[in-house]
Amino acid sequence: MGHGGSANTTQRLSLKHPILWSTTKPYLYRVVTEVRRGQTLEDTYETPLGVRTFQFDAASGFSLNGAPLRILGVCQHHDLGALGAAVNTRAMERQLELLKAMGCNAIRTAHNPPATEFLDLCDKMGFLVMDEAFDMWQKKKNGQDYHLDFKQWHQRDLEDQIRRDRNHTSVFIWSIGNEIREQFDSTGVRLTRELTATVKRLDPTRPVTSALTEQEPAKNFISQAGVLDVLSFNYKHAEYPELPKRFPGQKFLATEIAAAYETRGHYDMPSDSLRIWPKDGKTKLTTGNPDLTASSYDNAAPYWGTTHEKAWRAIKQNPHITGAFVWSGFDYLGEPLPYPWPARSSYFGILDLAGFPKDIYYMYQSEWTDKPVLHLLPHWNWKPGQTVDVWAYYNNADEVELLLNGKSLGKRQKQAEDLHVMWRVPYAPGTLQAVSRKGGQTVLTRTIKTAGPAAKIELTADRRKLRADSKDLSFVTVRVLDAAGNLVPDAAHLVRFSVSGPGVVAGVDNGYQASMESFKADSRKAYNGMALAIIQTTAKAGQITLNASADGLTPATVTLTSN
């Protein structure tokens, strides 16, 4: 090969008994390519390689390596909460760890190509990825969106994305669009064929889909193009049973389900009454909460969405839907429906912007994992005589018994399609306890106590051993506790942070969607008893100590080691 020249070479490798990549055992090989001139090594390149087979089947659903698998997914925006939109690998890894622990096995990148580092993590951690290209084509959704660049750039952008991402084992399907306006006229047919052909030319191995809103064939010009391998639909769960009749022989995915609103630690009763906010596309919301909160009982949703429980139930009842992507995994910056400013981040997440699980996290964990789950809500600080709805999410058990100050309030069992059990309890201060049992044997016990006055701060770091690379992070959870160690559910103290050693406060948060405090401050008010401090390393090694203090509370410290 001469100076400055280029050449293509094709090599075939065979693996006799490959270890297969899966969502539970994401085994990766490395393919090392070396370029040599004589004996001199000029360049080297490593490509991760996972070996797996998968298929969508209209009759039997989705399978990975020949075994049936339900796609249990979430949609993820790109931002990382208090850190903003810039890529930080550890922040993305933490999000994926929390989703993995919930039982999630798939991510839809909504609605743009993800960072390469994100796909590297999904390869390593065992997530299937729907890699999505566009949120709009030629027809605009907003005045300054990608429709202005589509004509000139879409071909190049799509080719670059497929070439960049096609070696990632985690990517199992390409999406060429989300709720595209060309669904409604014949330009949708031409563009769908053109975009799908581009994908297939560069990667003939994976299916192509597009997230659609219209579930009537006559109204959907994207599905009429006849080239999508899988038909994916957003919302409208009541129509799932009709899909096989409307689109015979097709394979189906639910690309967006739920879109319910929750604010962590806030509860509106009665818990079994649904708040549709707003009630339609033309009516302004006037019935919301003055403090811009939504209930953590999973009982508030927009007219086009539904509760998490109703959406998941519909997926369970319709096996022809091969899987679902919940809107959304985490709260994200922007789109603060149903509220106007000063609400500034979304309410849709299963986890809040700080990465603290909302109660609904445990509903999914009880459904999506085999590990024993028992989650009791709400907190136990109410007004004397108030009737409180007490819920429990559970699995691996026949029943749950609830006790208040040692006195049984009865046993409950999930009936038919139930995803939780409930008691209506006249409030009395003290100890609320749930016990789950299987065959009479105790599986798990959960206890919530009435909290006294706030007394102290507790700090918990997700990781104490860090890399001194100016990028690594420790996410430190701040909890305001009473003297006995109970979380104080309405604590709103201003917590001040100081760091000694080779580290900095990279961001602070509390998960409240309408907080106007800076993400880049050295203090944060607790919200419903909790806050977050994100500590970032520098290039120096050493001990990093975070100190947290607030007026009237015993302060706390946590020490991290950076190497």
pLDDT tens string 457-510: 999 999 999 999 999 999 999 999 999 999 999 999 999 999 999 999 999 999
pTM assigned to the model: 0.96
Angle, helices 89-102/360-368, rounded to nearest 10 degrees: 60
| pLDDT at residue 165, rounded to an integer | 97
Give per-residue burial for 86-100: e unless 16+ CB within 10 Å, then b.
Answer: eebebbbbbbbebbe
| DSSP secondary structure code for residue 114 in this structure | P
How far apart CA 414 and CA 102 sit, in angstroms, is 20
Decide if 77 contacts 332 (C-beta within 8 A).
Answer: yes
Mean pLDDT, the chain, integer: 96
| pLDDT at residue 1, rounded to an integer | 45
Q: 390 CB contacts (<8 Å, ≥6 apart)? A: 376, 377, 378, 402, 422, 423, 424, 425, 432
Q: Residues of the chain whose pLDDT is less than 50?
A: 1
Strands of 298-415 (E only): list them. Answer: 300-301, 321-327, 374-377, 387-394, 399-404, 407-412
Beta bridge partners of 324: 72, 254
214 is catalytic: no
* Given 132, 179, 182, 214, the catalytic residue: 179
Strands 399-404 and 407-412: antiparallel
Decide if 448 contacts 379 (C-beta within 8 A).
Answer: yes
Domains of the chain: 54-368 (3.20.20.80), 374-449 (2.60.40.10), 454-562 (2.60.40.10)
* Given 132, 182, 256, 401, the catalytic residue: 256
458 is catalytic: no
Closest CA to 207 of 251, 243, 248, 245: 251
Decide if 543 contacts 468 (C-beta within 8 A).
Answer: no
| pLDDT at residue 208, rounded to an integer | 98
> Angle 499-503-504 (CA atoms, 0-180°, nearest 5)?
70
Helix (H/G/I), strand (E/B), else coil: 72 = strand
| DSSP secondary structure code for residue 130 in this structure | E
Q: 256 CB contacts (<8 Å, ≥6 apart)? A: 75, 110, 211, 234, 235, 325, 326, 327
| pLDDT at residue 4, rounded to an integer | 64
